[in-house]
Amino acid sequence: MALSLSYPSPFGGDAFTYFIVGEVRENRYYGNATIGVYGFLNADARHAMANFISVPITIDSGDWIKDATIEQIYTLLKATPEFASATDV
């Protein structure tokens, strides 16, 4: 699974267009989670294991699903302002 979105590079140059879930830190005390979304220039860069940027997204406790599946995590990401216009690839 991956998401497609044009995300401006924080370094200038080409935008990042291919995003995967890289890590999930679930905070059981507060009931929320931070998802580390890894952004690549494109799918070829991801498959070549090129460098990536990490975009941290916090999912609030009211929205987070304890022990969420990867499909649920991608759905939660698409509900955030940062990834609202992303499409599945």
Three-class secondary structure of residue 35 per DSSP: strand
3: its two tokens: 């998401």
pLDDT of residue 19: 98
Let me know if residue 79 belongs to a domain.
yes
- What pTM was estimated for this model as a whole? 0.91
Residues of the domain holding 59: 3-9+16-83
Q: Give the span between the Cα atoms of 45 and 42, in whole angstroms.
A: 5
Q: Given strand 87-88, what is the order of strands in its sheet? A: 53-59, 32-40, 16-27, 3-7, 87-88
- pLDDT tens per residue, range 47-78: 999 999 999 999 999 999 988 999 999 999 99
Question: How many independent structural domains does the chain possess?
Answer: 1
